[in-house]
Structure 1
């Protein structure tokens, strides 16, 4: 089956047309040869990964190669032009056998390791690591296939020639206009890719609008084959002289959790490397990316001038045709955190351009109509268009529309005197000139309403302990001395970051490690641990940091994940020591609630006993998420859950007891 966003449909041009445009763009901007192949299908691919051992050395790949799930797809293209006076890496002959390509890759990786300490923060070095990572995926899984070797050789050549560009601005003329960039993720020690287009005006130093493009879902998407941009989006950015950045989003994460974090990092990296007009940043998404654009826009409205949502959904309950009140409150809270429906008031000052095919067979038109109606009711300025005669694949059609072009030209970021903002998690703690909101842990949701009338500004807050105001960024008409706050304390300074909190997925958002305490010769425990690692790989397209028999320094340096039983794990016993969770030979207990241990499992998050600024996650008993899709495995993990080995309709294990700790990491009975 082809990927959902890669199926043929109306309004799509061919991959050949897209490749022709990409090569022309780079040629016109001074880059020789096809740098990126604009491709759609990727139908022969599976999951990609970055297998490595991390304990203190995130730059060295070395975990067992058999665990790599690579793909036979992706781009093999000519390297960028080197800086003047620097020798370019020469392409290798395609007739070399597999062993020579592997040897070339090892040599390239060794050269990159040598450069790590001095060049780690350089964009060219990050791009080189991304290309080397892609080559490793290709060689490891399909090293004997000539096509894979050719693609791997191309990625190696790109990695080698990127090292010639270290220290050179990314707007320099010898660097292709459309290219694959990268950055280092401290979370799991991986090099993450993103695509970027830099127009001539930005190369001249002019601040230009930025379109951040979120891709759609495909079950075959991975780091090798993901580089696909609609041809008419490239045409739009080219004609309007817009910068464009396309995050990988860790694959099919729905741009939630670590996927959302990737989007924010790509925006930050693009602003650091290129002259971005901060008042003209647009978040655009197709299909799954449209769903991400709705939610990320609601979480961070102050970052965006507007949203462009094509064939996307924003309402979990309409998607799954489930009544919200039929779900337990802890599931409602997890859903409401990640989806836009109950946060739409946050978009009061962020215009939305939304288009949908009337005959959409993947995201039915009723879903678009539902979220658009809810947005308008919340006061959002939505331009909504239904495309007659089109199924899901409306992307080329819409990116070519003149009304979209005119909408972009007329739209810029607002900085309002009056607004409303709601958040379901302390991580969402800033909005416009409210520089910091100290959101209470279990606010459901926290809410702040700002109203300015007759020179007086009133802030009404609930679920928020304190509010800090950036007086340097106040809009006209708002005077610091005329601001009063009800329901929260006004703080002159931004408080230090609070200790981290749950749910479980939060532990993935800063450096984390999977800890293996067992004996590697114990095949049963090693196989179980390997499965947990593979689950992260399937979810986030990278191998987790793995530490075998950690030191106390290791345990204090990471959010730690411990898998196993307390009878065999001194570390699990230490984590549980002062917690409300008790595990006996026969029972799991949380507070006063006790459940038979047989046929059940436990997943829970706690403060890290070795470092209160880090987290500790344990999983005991029956495995979690065997019935869930790989990209939804971690969706329904709150702070704690005792679960059975059978599944609810959403694919998650049925919960016997689940919920969230209070601010003292205890349970409210």
Structure 2
């Protein structure tokens, strides 16, 4: 335990290197905590327009008193029945959903709890309400092997959750829902339950008749959620693993690791032991993977491993980790080594991924006629660095504050430590000019008033985003309107029509034309960061850009 906490509820902070900020969270330490004993951990995610302090109250069954608003309830922690759990509640930048930077804050908080407390690795749980219930579903599907169980309450998940429901094969899920909820409709939650049931997931569903958008009172009242968690323990070595992902960022679950995929395309694996040292694998859109089997009760590392992949049987020699690669259309027991500079874990795009880690927004000073032009460019960069949220009648100032600097202020350390968001063209931004030969596309100077270009590439271990011409981020809905709602399906994507979060749906490269409000190209780049042939042809035909060979 690296620092001293008092018993009971309290508030602490952790350091986020994303924007050099201190991020608050609620933390509960059980009475009589002993560092030599291991403790289960519950992570509780708050809902929209809420906070970490209220979340800590809610998970212990305390709603607001009659006539008490959230502002007043946030000022104090009432007495409650003790539980023998460590409980942590991230602020996660307020109402930003649980993708991107808020997601990183959740992982950071779990890491912080592991550093500060003796946590039982097989008893880490995730729960949350409303927006936080949706975050529980999404994060649980992204890292199912981290949690022993998840318990979403009246969940409003992002659209990215829905293709991942099969990932909960070994993850117990208990969903709570108000039968008369006008905000998160029960029909949408029942749809989620059906999806899990169709995938043979361990799903429990509790619907409370007549209850509106406050079913957390039933879910968390009387210690209910802790009693359910009491009976759930993670199995790190299940006989079968089913996992889907479209990102190297989420490239492993249990004893399966994805080594080569096409970012942006969902890859799937279904691997199961059929006997001792015998595994059957079904895969789709996957070109290389590893079976990390050390410690698995059905595996003997001193004996060969027999693996059947999509009907083809292979033998792998005795070792702890077993590697398989698709070569010339056939699976072979060989290890895949990513070429230098290729897309890989931590370096893959899409554009918004560069904003979710430490980053600097850089505006150009080259060729500026006067101070007013410098000010205009600086303001344009600040607009791109803005993470404020606005929807309906709600607005929240930016909860993320990256550095915004000129090209003359960028240091060698900035290149090594940060993703660079470069605003301008090679004619206006010295940093873009310095990287020009390593960049795949450049907007022509004469096209900057009519076209907008934004793309991200990996260079020397960091992401570099180039944003040129028309500032797409000032009204992206004009070019990429949000998908229409699907009847009966609950989707809550938290983003704005302006600023950084407006780019969440952009792939690796986007070119728009202002006058026609048209998307000219919206594409993923290839694994070596080159422009695909079809997109390359469209870029050239636009006449607005030059494309590197």
- Separation in structure 2 between the aligned mates of residue 402 and residue 466 of structure 1, nearest angstrom: 45
After superposition, the C-alpha distances for 1:596-653 in whole angstroms (9 at most, x for unaligned) are x544311111233xxx101111112222333434684232121010125599xxxxx8
Offset at 1:176? Answer: 4.5
Evaluate the alpha carbon distance shift between residue 204 and residue 575 of structure 1 in structure 2; reply closer, same or farther with a 3 A threshold.
Answer: closer
- TM-score for both structures, normalised by structure 2: 0.75
Distance 1:405 1:557, change over 3 A: closer
Deviations 1:139-160 (A, max 9, x none): xxxxxxxxxxxxxxxxxxxxxx
Kindly indicate whether the alpha-carbon contact (under 8 Å) linking 1:450 and 1:460 is maintained by their aligned counterparts in 2. yes
Q: Does 1:664 align with 2:516?
A: no
**What is the Cα deviation at residue 238 of structure 1?**
4.8
Residue of structure 2 in register with 1:655 after alignment: 519
Aligned with 2:148 (options 292, 305, 321): 305
Question: What's the offset of the Cα at 1:401?
Answer: 5.6
Cα distance change of structure 1 residues 285 and 654 upon mapping to structure 2, 3 Å threshold: farther
- Alpha-carbon distance in structure 1 between the residues aligned to 2:263 and 2:428: 34
2:537 aligned partner? none
What is the TM-score with the length of structure 1 in the denominator?
Answer: 0.62
> Contact 1:201–1:241 (CA<8 Å) still a contact in 2?
no
2:14 equivalent in structure 1:
183
- RMSD (Å) for aligned C-alpha atoms: 3.0
Which one of 165, 169, 189 corresponds to residue 3 of structure 2?
Answer: 169
Taking a change above 3 Å as real, the CA distance of residues 542 and 404 of structure 1, as seen in their structure-2 partners, is: closer
CA distance in 1, matches of 2:306, 2:117: 36
Q: How does 1:40-439 map to 2 (within 5 A)?
A: 169-171=3-5, 175-203=6-34, 205-218=36-49, 226-229=52-55, 231=57, 233-234=59-60, 238-314=81-157, 316=159, 339-400=160-221, 404-415=225-236, 416-434=238-256, 436-439=257-260
Shift of 1:541: 0.9
Note if contact 2:171-2:202 (Cα within 8 Å) is conserved in structure 1. yes
State whether structure 2 residue 253 is matched by structure 1 residue 448.
no
Q: Work out whether residues 285 and 293 of structure 1, in 8 Å CA contact, stay in contact via their aligned partners in 2.
A: yes
Residue 340 of structure 1 and its aligned partner are, at CA, apart by 1.9
What is the distance in 1 between the residues matched to 2:284 and 2:468? Answer: 37
The alignment partner of 1:534 has SS state of: coil
Tell me if the contact between 2:386 and 2:400 (Cα under 8 Å) persists in the aligned partners.
no
Indicate how the Cα distance of structure 1 residues 238 and 458 shifts in structure 2: closer, same or farther if over 3 A, else same.
farther
1:604 has 2:455 as partner: yes
Q: Secondary structure at the match of 1:457?
A: strand
SS at match of 1:582: strand
Contact 1:214–1:246 (8 Å) recurs in 2: yes
Q: Deviations over 1:232-278 (max 9, x none)?
A: 52359954311101112222221102221111111111011112121
Does the 8 Å contact 2:422/2:466 carry over to 1? yes
Deviations 1:293-315 (A, max 9, x none): 11111110101111111111336
**Cα distance in 1 for residues equivalent to 2:59 and 2:84:** 12
For these two proteins, the number of residue pairs brought into alignment is 454
Larger % of strand: which? 2
Can you list the C-alpha shifts for 1:149-175, whole angstroms capped at 9, x where unaligned? Answer: xxxxxxxxxxxxxxxxxxx6335xxx3
Cα deviation 1:204-239 (Å, max 9, x = unaligned): 632222110011112xx6xxx653225352359954
Q: Which stretch has the larger CA shift, 572-581 or 382-391?
A: 572-581
* Structure 1 residues 314 and 491, CA gap change in structure 2 (3 angstroms): farther
What corresponds to 2:279 in structure 1? 457
The separation in 1 between residues aligned to 2:420 and 2:388, in whole angstroms, is: 14
Do the aligned partners of 2:363 and 2:424 also contact (CA within 8 Å) in 1?
Answer: no
Name the one with the larger helix percent.
1
* Contact preservation (8 Å) 1:639, 1:659: yes
Measure, in 2, the Cα distance between the counterparts of 1:646 and 1:308.
48
CA spacing shift, 1:232–1:662, aligned 2, 3 Å: closer
1:616 to 443, 446, 464: 464
Does the C-alpha gap of structure 1 residues 541 and 623 become closer, same or farther in structure 2, counting only changes over 3 Å? same
Q: Deviations over 1:83-142 (max 9, x none)?
A: xxxxxxxxxxxxxxxxxxxxxxxxxxxxxxxxxxxxxxxx9xxxxxxxxxxxxxxxxxxx
CA distance in 2, matches of 1:554, 1:229: 37
Q: CA deviation at 1:516?
A: 3.3
Query: Using the alignment, how far apart are the partners of 1:582 and 1:315 within structure 2?
Result: 33
